[in-house]
Amino acid sequence: MVGSPRPSFAEEKSTTTFREEREIGVIFGLGGHPAPSLFSMSIADNLGRHVRVMAGVGTAFVLNTVGLGAQYLFVTEGPFTPMVGLSFSTSQETDLWRDELDSPAESLNYSSSMISAGLDWQFKNGTNVGVGLNVAWWQEPKGALDSPLIPYFSVGYFF
């Protein structure tokens, strides 16, 4: 064969990826993490090539949400990768749309666990873009979310 020999499996694994070079990031989302939320902000940490953990806050005007999650990134050799994730969040009803006659005792709290599937791009300069779908597989109280399917779009930057 012409050219240099193909690197061994061990040599390929030692190559640093974009996610390993830029580990800590801030991600802003629409419909994203934590879910359910319309607008969200998360702090994320790439724990090596395949795992990202996140903690975030979000709002959907009538709910404020906090949550934790983890994602598995399938491909790490470039900026693009499919991913799956699991997250847990808790939400509390806000007073924004409440009638003055409602008592504070009627305020509702929601808890949910989400399975996520989507696509993630993290570029060499640290820019991150994500799209996907959150699926509620557990809710308390039951039926708290009108729809168990929540699409998301996110943009962020990793340092």
Structurally, how many domains does the chain consist of?
A: 1
User: CA–CA separation, 136 vs 127, rounded Å?
Assistant: 28
Tokens of 66: 């906090």
pLDDT in tens, 95-105: 655 555 555 55
Q: What's the start-to-end Cα distance of the chain, in Å?
A: 41
Report yes or no on 88 lying in a domain: yes
- CATH value at residue 41: 2.40.160.20
Does residue 11 have a pLDDT over 70?
no
Report yes or no on 5 lying in a domain: no
pTM for the model stands at 0.81
User: CA–CA separation, 88 vs 47, rounded Å?
Assistant: 19
Structural contact between residues 70 and 87, judged by C-beta atoms closer than 8 angstroms: yes
Tokens of 143: 């039926």
pLDDT at 10: 47
Report yes or no on 4 lying in a domain: no
pLDDT in tens, 67-87: 999 999 998 777 899 999 999
Higher pLDDT, 117 or 141: 117
